[in-house]
Structure 1
């Protein structure tokens, strides 16, 4: 299939596909004359890249996962390791945000207490 169809089926854009090829994230496709021809595996890889990006993976991280990838089988072990690492990173961010929220709630309570103490003095 041509690049437009691959973009449509994978939910990406033609520009993104060309960029992924340029940075080595997507292997160079076969060609028919001057047209790029993509396989079903290419479309699956494109969909995987898009999904991973939506889940917070950066293209550099995906390059690390897919480095040296050729053929139909994806490097699942590297993907599993990257997912585990991303989950740990996310858990740390969640913990930090929860601490920040608790701090804001305590600060808000202190301000309300201070406001209540000062309201009688006029």
Structure 2
């Protein structure tokens, strides 16, 4: 069954314009054509979902461009997985840093509240 760009947009939550943009940037392999229509594969859809989700996590298109590589028409999911592990670690580090800042704020707030009670 042929999957055209409108259906891909529905399945991925991306706009047609965004899908074409990702094609232009070589983040996805240009789909084969059936007449004048692009025909997308499940692989296209999975990579587009990955791009959408990664962007939501703060990953840049430049970073994605460096990691989404193709071999014989298929994305290198092993390399993508390794990259996602790095992104997860980066987010965990950010979470730790934020937790430390919150702890410092709690100390400041506690100090201020103590001063107000003794005043």
Normalised-by-shorter TM-score class: 0.7 to 0.9
Give the C-alpha shift of residue 71 in structure 1: 4.0
Q: What stretches of structure 1 of length at least 5 have no aligned partner? A: none
Q: Normalization by structure 1: what TM-score?
A: 0.81
Note if contact 2:9-2:15 (Cα within 8 Å) is conserved in structure 1: yes
Q: Distance in 2 between the 1:40 and 1:83 partners?
A: 20
Q: Normalization by structure 2: what TM-score?
A: 0.83
SS of match in other structure, 2:14: coil
Q: Distance in 2 between the 1:48 and 1:87 partners?
A: 14
| Equivalences, count | 117
Q: Which range is displaced more, 48-57 or 102-111?
A: 48-57
2:33 is matched with 31
Give the C-alpha shift of residue 25 in structure 1: 0.5
Which structure 2 residues correspond to residues 40-79 of structure 1 after superposition, within 5 A? 40-67=42-69, 69-71=70-72, 73-79=74-80
Q: What stretches of structure 2 of length at least 5 have no aligned partner? A: none
Give the C-alpha shift of residue 75 in structure 1: 1.1
